[in-house]
Homo-oligomer: A and B are copies of this chain.
């Protein structure tokens, strides 16, 4: 399908693209570039590509598909490094969770003849780094492309086929719409999760070991999202600020109503909301976007709970609380 795929950045997403591309024979050669020597060596040891370089321009030279797989805050210096090395006719894409700012920042710098098609595969885990990727990450998921009007349709088709071969359904949309929808399905949920985990960790009313011991009561589900890459998510909130604030505002309006329902003891109102939200999970499962297994299919029956004194020590070591 492609002669040379250049991956700038080789974390969870980049390494998954590399593995899937290799597995399905979607490019004759894979060039990997990243900023840190140790990360590059890790990628090399994992055999993720064919060539490895700290020089992004070297990686993109002769590449017909270039995908930026780095935090969106790092795009500008990388673009400035590679723009003169980009091949005419090459497709330049990315995987960032925010699209409007990406287009505004990079769009003006894209050389004539290079097809700029920003993208966002809606897939991931809470892990990071070259060893965290796997080829099935994108299977059964959606990938959103946000090419500007007037982008070459043949190039869009080629990139669509690439993501289709990785197992994804592809949808094109306006970048601003993408950012608004993702603000509510992804960015605000992450913000809320980060917040509640922080709030719980800081309480003096509960000992840290109680928080850990009783985490199976609901809290632990939030900790997964709140374990997501700090740099990537910092950049999401820095670059999708307006949509995030808009959606956070809606969330807070609704929470105010729910808070009132709790305060006045509105049983029927609460029961109605909780019944409605139960149905939504069923929709997501039926649409193939979630497992039907109870408790996410997490294993039960491991009698490995750690006694309290050890849990307390672990929590301190892992930096819970303000002093960390």
Contact = CB atoms under 8 A, between A and B. Distances in A.
Contacts of A80: none
Interface stretch (A57-65, A102-110, A267-275): A267-275
B224 A296 contact: yes
Interface residues of A, number: 131
A297 B300 contact: no
A237 B297 CA distance: 27
Contacts of A167: 301, 303
A112 interface: no
Contact of A286 (B213, B217, B244, B314): B314
Interface in A115-166: 122-127, 132, 134, 136-137, 139-142, 144
Contacts of A182: 214, 217
Contacts of A221: 189, 193, 221-222, 224-225
Residues of A contacting B: mostly: helix
A288 B302 contact: yes
B251 A300 contact: no
Contacts of A126: 281, 294-295
Interface of A: 73, 97, 122-127, 132, 134, 136-137, 139-142, 144, 167, 169, 171, 180-182, 184-203, 205-206, 208, 210-231, 233-235, 237-238, 241, 244-245, 248, 250-252, 254-255, 258-259, 261-263, 265, 267, 270-271, 273-284, 286-291, 294-307, 310-311, 314-315, 318-320, 324
